[in-house]
Structure 1
Amino acid sequence: MLTLTDNAVQVIRDLTAQSSGSQDTGIRIASQADQAGSLVLSISEGPANQDQVIEVEGARVFLDPVAADALETKSLDADVDAQGSPSFRLAEQG
């Protein structure tokens, strides 16, 4: 299952708090049907029906089935640059 670094947890909590304040809000990682192997990350008000939900210390991540499969052995990390823009990275776990 996808794991989250401490930095990713903090960035996700900050992003979702700014966007709506709803406790169901999280980030969603989904496959793009027209581009095999591509994933898109967005802020979502809640998971879709088939989404896997990962929750760590209040940070919620929703993964569509294809993304959940592709990210099974990955870890999500995040940073915020000097202008306040977040960036996310995937790496192998461990």
Structure 2
Amino acid sequence: MLTLTENAAIAVKAVVAGTPDVQAAGIRIRGAEAPTAGFELTLAPQPEPADAVVEADGARVFLDSTAQAALDDQVLDAQMNEDGSVRFALAAQA
């Protein structure tokens, strides 16, 4: 299952902080049809019924079935820039 670094958890919580129901909201990762096309990240008020939910330190990430299979052995990390933008990155679990 996908895991989150401490930085990723902080970034996810910062991104969802402005949503009406911050307790249920999270980042949703949707896998692309073509494996080389990457992933789509969106702010989601809650998970879709078939989503897997990854929680770490109060941060919630929702994975559709394609993303769940592709990211099973990955770690999500993040870098927050001074301007408030966030850059997410994936790495293999150690």
Q: What percentage of residue pairs aligned between the two structures are identical?
A: 41
TM-score (norm 1): 0.91
**CA separation in 1, counterparts of 2:21 and 2:47?**
16
2:7 match:
7
The CA RMSD measured in Å over matched residues stands at: 1.1
Q: Does 1:43 align with 2:76?
A: no
Q: Which runs of 4+ in 1 moved over 3 A?
A: none
**CA separation in 2, counterparts of 1:56 and 1:15?**
15
1:16 match:
16
Give, as a single letter, the amino acid of the residue that structure 1 aligns with 2:14.
D
The answer to whether the Cα contact below 8 Å between 2:32 and 2:66 also exists between their aligned partners in 1 is no
TM-score (norm 2): 0.91
Give, as a single letter, the amino acid of the residue that structure 1 aligns with 2:72.
E
**CA separation in 1, counterparts of 2:91 and 2:20?**
29
2:31 match:
31
Give, as a single letter, the amino acid of the residue that structure 2 aligns with 1:32.
A
How many residue pairs match? The answer is 92
Once the two structures are superposed, the pairs formed by residues 49-60 of structure 1 within 5 Å of their partners are: 49-60=49-60
Equivalent position SS for 1:79? strand
Q: Structure 1 unaligned segments of length 5 or more: list them.
A: none
Q: Structure 2 unaligned segments of length 5 or more: list them.
A: none
Equivalent position SS for 2:13? helix
